[in-house]
Structure 1
């Protein structure tokens, strides 16, 4: 049941991430909302909302109690700045210097980085299942975002650098959260990380400097969706999934994000959907099915299941 809950949380969170990105794109194009302002505002509001839910709905002592332990407080600040904020900023910077397709594709190098890190630290062994799931995730994301056109990957060097940094940040974000979650509720960790990241970014772009006027009711509803579903719930569900899934599994299942983004772009923004994008969809659905049918979860320090042999690397 815990594994099913983890699968539901990470897939739902990734779907909200993807849809939130499409909605944000509409805000940027149609209403000319500044990217830096949106990132700052959504982190601050979503973070405060998560902490409010924790305060009134669960163990309220954790909201401030997390700061009483100096070691945990330092870890939380590091997670907020190098995890939450860095994932947001590097991804947006890659989009700014290149395009969203390349930025998202490079960000999904994170599962490979996580698996390589765990193997290097001897926390896990490389299995054939790892190779298959990573391949399906990367190939699926590539076809979804480019429709098989290599020319769309021709971007400035800065876009590639920021994109790779985004993948590193996502890998760090996924791994660094695990020990924090063993001591405090996910609402507290994610909530404070968002507040810390949003506060730090406020020095670059204060949230009160909006730079836009005369937003319609429709635009405000898009803002609410991006903040509540595309940020608050998406990040919360992703982190919460780490309670019952391996970090490499959560990062792999996060590749549902580009699937949700492409599908909403096609059916909502009425953009065409090519043959290779359907191939990419099939790859990602196959990856999800492969992970969902896994008989049991095992920790990073344990041996793989009996039917999953380590891959010998010569």
Structure 2
């Protein structure tokens, strides 16, 4: 019960932070660029500080190996920064619920990639899961009407880009995760990604409405939606299996959808719910497909995807 509670709390905080980001973008005039750079810098510093408190030797050791340094910098810019920006851009042009659901297509992309890399055809249950995911996306972006899109083209583009970036983010650090802790990799990834993005959008380049609500929103995204959510998810793995954590983590799009409807009054009809259900079932199927497949990527490399 402790593991279940922790993983569900972490996933809910991730989902809620997406809705809070939507509130900052659409009602307070914040830009995704500013929120991304601030979140990366602040969260990276906090995670590395936490690692130092826990005496994580990997925080210093990772810089002594040239190959590890190169892989870390590549992951930081292409993986970490890529997934953060595409996700927030999808929220900006659409809403948190749709952006989160579309990002959940990343396991489908990973499954297709691994089948190609291992030179095998997808298994029957993988084909079923992929087909189910495609049906889910169809319901979400068309509401069942094949003649029109129910979301903007930019929201669809950034949502799908977020799924591909999330897949890259998951696959890139596999070798690093075999040698160093997740705290080390994610902490440095966020900090380096934030520093790199600062050259494009420095953290002092700000636009938006400053109020007590917007300040609380930024603090929530950085602290609760990143640091605490990350720790809850990691702590849960002491009590439950990664496959179980991945499945229970599906409450993230549910929490994002629920809060965006209740708080921000976003429309969310039967077709949206049906599409989301299809994609969540897809995640459950693929989580347990990977459980018994030694040719697939390490389950532990999936544990930070939602960050």
How far, CA to CA, are the matches of 2:255 and 2:282 in structure 1? Answer: 15
| Equivalent in the alignment of 2:28 | 31
Answer yes or no: is 1:173 the counterpart of 2:169: yes
2:97 matches 1:130: no
Unaligned runs of 5+ in 2: 297-307
Change (3 A) 1:77 1:296: closer
Which SS does the other structure have where 1:126 is aligned? coil
Counterpart contact for 2:86–2:159, Cα < 8 Å: yes
Structure 1 unpaired stretches of 5+ = 303-314
Q: TM-score, normalised by structure 2?
A: 0.77
Counterpart check, 1:182 vs 2:178: yes
Matches within 5 A, 1:165-244: 165-212=161-208, 214-216=210-212, 218-234=213-229
- Relative to 1, partners in 2 of residues 1:226 and 1:95: Cα closer, same or farther, differing over 3 Å? closer
Partner of 1:280: 275
Aligned residues: 291
Q: Which runs of 4+ in 1 moved over 6 A?
A: 7-10, 236-243
Q: Distance in 2 between matches of 1:270 and 1:155?
A: 18
Q: Distance in 1 between matches of 2:94 and 2:236?
A: 29
The corresponding residue for 1:312 is: none
Aligned partners of 1:30 and 1:193: how far apart in 2? 30
Give distance in 1, aligned partners of 2:225 and 2:25: 15
Instruction: Output the CA distance in 2 between the equivalents of 1:229 and 1:211.
Output: 23
Q: Who is 1:50 aligned against?
A: 47
Secondary structure of the structure 2 residue equivalent to 1:152: coil
1:190 positional shift: 0.5
Does the C-alpha gap of structure 1 residues 149 and 39 become closer, same or farther in structure 2, counting only changes over 3 Å? farther
* Backbone CA RMSD of aligned residues: 3.8
1:146/1:22 Cα in 2 relative to 1: closer, same or farther (>3 Å)? farther
Aligned residue for 2:295? 301
